[in-house]
Amino acid sequence: MKQFILRNGISIPSIGFGTWKIPDGEASAKAVQEAISVGYRHLDLGAIYGNETGVGLGIRASGLDREQLFVTDKLWNSDRGYNRTIEAFQKSLDLLKLDFLDMYLMHWPASPALYENWQDINLDTWRAFEYLYKQGYVKAIGVCNFFPHHLEALINDAAETPMVDQIEYHPGQTQHETVDFCKLHNIQVEAWSPLGSGKMLKKDCLKNVAAQYGVSVARLCIKWCLQNGIIPLPKSVTLERICENYNVFDFVIAEDDMNVLNNLPYIGGSGLNPDEITLFG
Ligand code: A2P
């Protein structure tokens, strides 16, 4: 599988298997094992997904050497701050029964809608990320859902610039400003909900383009991410779809179709804005 190289030289497989909404226990163990069996070597987790135990079971059941997998996990918002971050990281390792993570991400920036001092909160949390990275507990560190102003505030005082920003990214939700900022600062962008949580699959404008290549809309969306230099993290619990989403290397989207897809208007998404959400603390 093609790899991308992060700013610190670490290789990351170009497609990750998303695990959001997969129930803990047997369901997540099975999905992860199946994903590994069809070839995925990159798993994207989150403490808030509540399925680290099952994912860990799936990893062990796969029989694959730990070193051959790239495992990302995320710090949840209620664990912000230096000490709590270190504790939450250890808890995730314990649930997964792993000794290290390949990458650890801050799941959301502290929301300016909730905290006047959101910059300080992010920096304090980031200091713990830097500690974990320097100690070798994790090979890469990054953030999710950061807009350029969140990144700028962090980078100004950080010892390590985030290696990744994982954002919502699918046709019509391209976050050009954030992607351009990340490219300028050599921050790898990853796409959560590359299929718009399944919503993109019903859009006629995408079905028409996909039909020209004889591929499904899911494969089109995943390949479109890759051709834009972005790592897609599709999620599925269905073996056939897990397989389909991984097999995107036998067609290339032509430049004019890339332009059409890159310039689609908003056609639906999560509606979550990191500057406005107050739901998550
Ligand atoms: P399921 O898990 O039942 O297979 P996203 O990755 O954007 O969050 O989208 C995930 C959603 O899209 C899930 O509901 C998943 O359903 C569905 N999905 C994933 N891959 C495919 C596919 N190849 N074809 C149809 N639906 C898919």
Instruction: Tell me if 29 sits within 8 A of 55, measured CB to CB.
Output: yes
pTM recorded for the entire structure: 0.97
Residue owning the nearest CA to atom 10 of ligand 1: 197
Q: Which residues form the catalytic set?
A: 49
Domain boundaries, the chain: 3-197+230-238
Identify the pLDDT of residue 123: 98
Question: Which atom of ligand 1 lies nearest, measured to the CA of 196?
Answer: 7
> Mean pLDDT of successive 10-residue segments in the chain (281 residues)?
94 98 96 98 98 98 97 96 98 98 97 92 98 98 98 97 98 97 98 97 97 98 98 97 97 98 95 83 64
CA–centroid distance, residue 124 to ligand 1 (Å): 36
As a residue count, the chain comes to 281
Question: Which atom of ligand 1 lies nearest, measured to the CA of 22?
Answer: 2
The finding on whether 274 has its CB within 6 A of some atom of ligand 1 is no
The domain made up of 3-197+230-238 has a fold known as TIM Barrel (3.20.20)
63, containing H or E segment = none
Structure tokens at 120: 């300080």
From 43, 199, 235, give the residue whose CB has the most ligand 1 atoms within 8 Å, as the site to mutate.
235
Identify the pLDDT of residue 279: 66
The finding on whether 245 has its CB within 6 A of some atom of ligand 1 is yes
* CA–CA gap between residue 186 and residue 139 (Å, rounded): 17
